[in-house]
Amino acid sequence: MAENKLSSISQTDSLEAMGEFWDTHDFTQYDTDAPDVEFTVSSSVSIEPDLFAAVEKQARLRGIDVETLVNLWLQEKLVEHDALVAT
């Protein structure tokens, strides 16, 4: 940081002091101009090659992406499971 230049929020010119400041403060208290940002969280799950090929085939037959089909099937399975547990 430039010498004698204070941070606008923590009002310090030391990186150590800034770190201490943010250890005890929440950024959202000072979030006045920051724009909202949308993002997607993705993950990967290993799938056996033969099983993946079968899912790809089913997705092609339905004219949808593999990811869409997997999400639909997982959602259906969760709804079925919740219905069974509720009874």
Residues 28-75 pLDDT 10s: 888 777 788 899 988 899 999 999 999 999 999 999 999 999 999 999
User: 9-34 pLDDT, tens per residue?
Assistant: 888 888 998 899 999 988 888 877 77
pLDDT-derived band at 4, boundaries 50, 70, 90: low
Report pTM.
0.53
Give the per-residue pLDDT at 3. 57
Q: What is residue 7's DSSP assignment?
A: P
- Name the H helices within 1-87: 15-23, 49-62, 66-86
Enumerate the domain spans of the chain.
1-33, 49-86
| 1 or 65, higher pLDDT | 65
